[in-house]
Amino acid sequence: MSQTWQTEQLHARMMAAHGSCNLPELVDLYATAANWAETEGDVDRCCFFLTQAWVYAMEAGSPDANQLRNRLVAHGRDVETSNNHGELL
């Protein structure tokens, strides 16, 4: 399976998920795109997709939101914060 074909398939699935407002699917697809970009060493593209996945995860109330944000923090795209109880947000 070629990378171009995989990318085209991912894009088509993203467009379908946007069309149906399928937030859990959008989280998964953008996280997948972020993983691919990270594997290729493209941190900027990775973080773009992570941001999209994080926004949709928060909107959907997904438990993946914290993990996605932590990846952004690890790449220096957000800062660690804590609430008044010392728990990371």
Q: Is residue 30 part of a domain?
A: yes
Number of domains composing the chain: 1
37 lies in some domain: yes
* Residue 86 domain-assigned (yes or no): no
Which residue, chain included where needed, has tokens 């399928």? 22
Q: Show the tokens assigned to 30.
A: 């953008």
- What are the C-alpha distances in Å from 55 to residues 23, 24, 35, 48, 69? 10, 11, 16, 11, 9
pLDDT in tens, 11-60: 999 999 999 999 999 999 999 999 999 999 999 999 999 999 999 999 99
Nearest to 50 by CA among 63, 79, 60, 36: 36
Instruction: Decide if 87 is inside a domain.
Output: no
In a domain, 84, yes or no: no
Domain range for 29 is 3-74
82: its two tokens: 């804590």
Residue 88 covered by a domain: no
pLDDT for position 79 = 83
